[in-house]
């Protein structure tokens, strides 16, 4: 390969709870994967975020962190436990929400794929939920002033869903582009029979975008029917595109069907930025004891490598991404698992097992 290896500048935000255990595990695996494919090592930059940033910088997401992120190629975001922050931080937009909003990371991509073995309800699940991340029923209170959620009287709460053509177009394009790299099938999830204008616009615009992808099969399903289809035949679905709240709920359901939420990865991406983030939370109940399963964080970091590879036309990064996923699968199929998957490996032991397999040892 005549192209010189590219060195990526990657941010690391450890976060709260199990974050300082699972994020370094993912860093080690990424380093091993890049080395294994002959790529330049990543230039990691640790940035403050979460409870420790409140103590040291007086902010859960310091402005300096956001400024530094802007100069990086991508980031790993550890989970955070914003419900445990003291006021006023608890009532503020939580750190991941703040980063998603600041960088307009509009696509939340959440694969649900079994790891083999174990107690999965639908182990043959292999789908990706592409969730719109900026509007719908979670429309941001600050962006759409007065239209997100409010209480006209103490006994009346109003929540508005916001759906705009540009936001639906870009999430639909993300879904159809992804489908072209997979099994070429997109399912549009909506509730246009009841929410005729709002969910109707989502469905209509997605179908318009579909016309530009005649090579991709498309269908549409009501959100309620979709939960039933997923339970009965999750394996039939490939790419599922949904508005913010529907996508949030469906991706938890699909992740659990495929295995467990503890192994469910995700990225939040725009056209030029990507943030890797496990689908689970900070698990304060098991933090600091080496019990946490780093699979979701490691697979999320692998998705970031895949995104970097496609964005920069970098075959090595694409190979490294594939190695990360294969390494995790190989470790699990060799019986190396953390306690939540029925094994005895610590967070560090599991990461070391993945590093060995990624490195081809």
Q: Which of 85, 106, 191, 306 is catalytic?
A: 191
Q: Which is nearer to Mg ion, 64 or 83 (CB)?
A: 83
Q: Contact at 8 Å (CB) between 206 and 241?
A: yes
* Six token digits for residue 217: 């099969």
* Binding status of residue 97 toward Mg ion by CB under 5 A: no
* Binding status of residue 281 toward Mg ion by CB under 5 A: yes
Q: Which is nearer to Mg ion, 79 or 123 (CB)?
A: 79
Please identify which residue in the block is written with the tokens 């991706």: 251
Q: Contact at 8 Å (CB) between 168 and 201?
A: yes
Q: What is d(CA 219, CA 240) in angstroms, rounded to the nearest whole number?
A: 10
Q: What is d(CA 15, CA 268) in angstroms, rounded to the nearest whole number?
A: 16
Q: Which is nearer to ligand ATP, 125 or 293 (CB)?
A: 293
Verify whether residue 213 is a known catalytic residue. Answer: no
DSSP 4: P
Q: Which of 16, 73, 81, 248 is catalytic?
A: 248
* Binding status of residue 284 toward Mg ion by CB under 5 A: no
- Report the partner that residue 293 touches, choosing among Mg ion, ligand ATP, none (CB closer than 5 to 8 A by kind): ligand ATP
Q: Which of 8, 85, 138, 213 is catalytic?
A: 138
Q: Which of 124, 224, 271, 334 is catalytic?
A: 224
Q: How far is the CB of 81 from ligand ATP (least distance, A)?
A: 6
- Report the partner that residue 340 touches, choosing among ligand ATP, Mg ion, none (CB closer than 5 to 8 A by kind): ligand ATP
- Report the partner that residue 100 touches, choosing among ligand ATP, Mg ion, none (CB closer than 5 to 8 A by kind): none
Beta-ladder partners of 277:
77
Neighbouring residues of 2: CB distance < 8 A, sequence distance ≥ 6: none
Verify whether residue 220 is a known catalytic residue. Answer: no
Q: Which is nearer to ligand ATP, 83 or 231 (CB)?
A: 83
Q: How many residues bind Mg ion (CB under 5 A)?
A: 1
Going by C-alpha positions, the residue among 81, 14, 20 that lies closest to residue 49 is 14
| DSSP-derived secondary structure for 277-298 | E-SS---GGGTTTT----HHHH
Q: What is d(CA 321, CA 307) in angstroms, rounded to the nearest whole number?
A: 9
Q: What is the CA radius of gyration of the chain?
A: 20
Verify whether residue 106 is a known catalytic residue. Answer: no
Instruction: Tell me which residues touch ligand ATP (CB under 6 A).
Output: 18, 79, 262, 280-283, 285-286, 292-293, 296, 340
- Report the partner that residue 282 touches, choosing among ligand ATP, Mg ion, none (CB closer than 5 to 8 A by kind): ligand ATP
Neighbouring residues of 69: CB distance < 8 A, sequence distance ≥ 6: 11, 47, 75, 99, 103
Q: How far is the CB of 292 from ligand ATP (least distance, A)?
A: 4
Q: Which is nearer to Mg ion, 281 or 284 (CB)?
A: 281
Q: How far is the CB of 199 from Mg ion (least distance, A)?
A: 24
Going from the C-alpha of 191 to that of each of 38, 177, 243, 324, 347, the distances in angstroms are: 48, 24, 10, 37, 41
Q: How far is the CB of 287 from ligand ATP (least distance, A)?
A: 8
Q: Would you please indicate which residues are annotated as catalytic (active-site) residues?
A: 138, 191, 224, 248, 252
Binding residues for Mg ion (CB under 5 A) = 281
């Amino acid at each position: 390969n005549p192209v010189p290896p590219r060195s990526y500048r990657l941010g690391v935000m450890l976060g709260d709870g199990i974050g300082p255990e699972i994020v370094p595990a993912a860093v080690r695996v990424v380093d091993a994967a890049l080395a294994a494919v002959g790529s330049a090592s990543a230039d990691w930059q640790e940035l403050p975020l979460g409870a420790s940033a409140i103590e040291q910088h007086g902010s859960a997401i310091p402005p300096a962190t956001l400024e530094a992120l802007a100069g990086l190629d991508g980031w790993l975001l550890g989970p955070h436990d914003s419900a445990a922050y003291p006021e006023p931080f608890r009532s503020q937009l939580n750190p991941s929400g703040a980063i998603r909003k600041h960088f307009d990371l509009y696509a939340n991509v959440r694969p649900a794929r079994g790891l083999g073995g174990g107690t999965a309800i639908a182990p043959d699940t292999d789908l990706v939920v592409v969730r719109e991340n900026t509007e719908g029923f979670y429309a941001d209170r600050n962006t759409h002033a007065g239209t997100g959620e409010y209480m006209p009287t103490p006994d009346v709460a109003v929540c508005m869903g916001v759906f705009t053509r540009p936001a639906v177009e870009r999430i639909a394009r993300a879904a159809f582009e992804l489908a072209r790299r997979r099994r070429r099938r997109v399912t549009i999830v909506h509730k246009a029979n009841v929410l005729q204008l709002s969910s109707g616009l989502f469905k209509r615009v997605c179908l318009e975008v579909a016309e530009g992808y005649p090579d991709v099969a498309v269908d549409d399903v009501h959100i309620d029917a979709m939960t039933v289809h997923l339970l009965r035949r999750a394996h039939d679905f490939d790419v599922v595109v949904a508005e913010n709240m529907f996508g949030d709920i469906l991706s938890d359901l699909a992740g659990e069907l495929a295995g467990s939420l503890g192994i469910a990865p995700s990225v939040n991406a725009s056209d030029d930025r990507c943030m890797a983030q496990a689908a689970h939370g900070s698990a304060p109940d098991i933090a600091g004891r080496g019990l946490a399963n780093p699979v979701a964080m490691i697979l999320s970091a692998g998705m970031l490598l895949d995104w970097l590879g496609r964005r920069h036309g970098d075959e090595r990064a694409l190979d490294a991404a594939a190695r990360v996923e294969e390494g995790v699968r190989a470790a699990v199929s060799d019986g190396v698992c953390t306690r939540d998957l029925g094994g005895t490996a610590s967070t560090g032991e599991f990461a070391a097992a993945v590093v060995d397999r990624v490195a081809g040892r």
